[in-house]
Structure 1
Amino acid sequence: MAEVEATQAALVDVSKTNSVPGEGYDKKCIFCKIVNNEMGTELLHSDEEVSCFRDIKPGAPHHYLVVPTKHVGNCKSLTKEHVPLVKQLVETGKEILQKNNITDLSDVRFGFHWPPFCSVTHLHLHVLAPASQMGFMSRLFYRLNSYWFITVSPLLCTCTKKAIVHDLMI
């Protein structure tokens, strides 16, 4: 009984966290609407920084999207200041996988679609597992470090390089 009450309390806390859109909300963005409970999508995780929900077109048995709770543009717009946020997206993705009994992180794919190949301009990390069970089309759409899909490490390097170039120009 106490466990049920704790689960209900956690669900109430999730709904309160994002009930009123504010700063960092784009009224045209579907992911902003999802994290603010305007779409009826089940949030698997939600706090002030990061939210997670299932992908509507799963490419693997477990396919989650981890997004900043506040609107952040696509991965091309990231700077070195966003590095901690990207790391938090990954950590949240790992936590969601563990809650769903996925412990083999060597058979997981984490990454972002590189513009113009992303359908939503709100930054979102794809978390797919097990990668070994992805179908042919999913292997193509989520191919590691392809022209349209970038994993976390190269993205963070890109953010850092942009910062170095910017510093050199000043």
Structure 2
Amino acid sequence: MSDNCVFCRIALRELPTELVHESPNTVAFRDLRPQAPVHVLVIPKPHHPDVATLAAADPALAGEVLSTAAAVAEAEGLRADGFRLIFNTGRYAGQEVFHVHAHVVGGAPLGPMLSS
């Protein structure tokens, strides 16, 4: 855990959030600035700065993050029409919090993945 990481503090329940799902190693909660009708963040409880670092350090935990994201999509009713799972890695990708997190986004047509 990182003392100054907001997602570590959420995982420890030091900061309030709307939890959607929790497992022994992951937490899912609603994004404070949703970009779609459903926008949930899925994080591992241990601190890893990005998905590439997580995959190299703990592939099993990376798989748990994906399993949690799938469970969230199912629970939120997104499986039938589809959803987007996004990992932003690094500042050029728009990563703002440097604790790996997956965005589960859906509930409406999402449009193109990248803007022109």
TM-score bracket for this pair, using the shorter chain length? 0.7 to 0.9
Q: Deviations over 1:44-95 (max 9, x none)?
A: 2223211100111111111111000111111242444433222221211121
Q: Which has the higher contact order (CA 8 A, sep 6+)?
A: 2
Structure 1 pair 120–95 and aligned structure 2 pair: CA distance change class (3 A): same
Partner SS, residue 89 of structure 1: helix
Q: Which runs of 5+ in 1 are unaligned?
A: 1-24, 147-170
The range that moved more, 93-102 or 71-80, is: 71-80
Tell me the equivalent position of 2:104.
127
Question: Identity of counterpart residues, as a percentage?
Answer: 29
Return the index of the structure with the highest Cα Rg. 1
Larger strand share, 1 or 2: 2
Q: Which one of the candidate residues 42, 46, 51 is aligned to 2:22?
A: 46
Whichever residue aligns with residue 77 of structure 2, its letter is: N
Tell me the equivalent position of 1:108.
83
TM-aligned CA deviation for residue 130 of structure 1: 3.1
Larger helix share, 1 or 2: 1
* 1:61 aligns to 2:47 (yes or no): no
Large movers: runs of 4+ above 4 Å: none
Q: Which runs of 5+ in 2 are unaligned?
A: none
Q: Which residues in structure 2 correspond to 1:8-157 (within 5 Å)?
A: 25-104=1-80, 107-116=82-91, 117-130=94-107, 132=109, 134=110, 143=113
Find the aligned partners of 1:93 and 1:79 in 2 and give their Cα distance: 16
TM-score by length of 1: 0.59
Partner SS, residue 52 of structure 1: strand
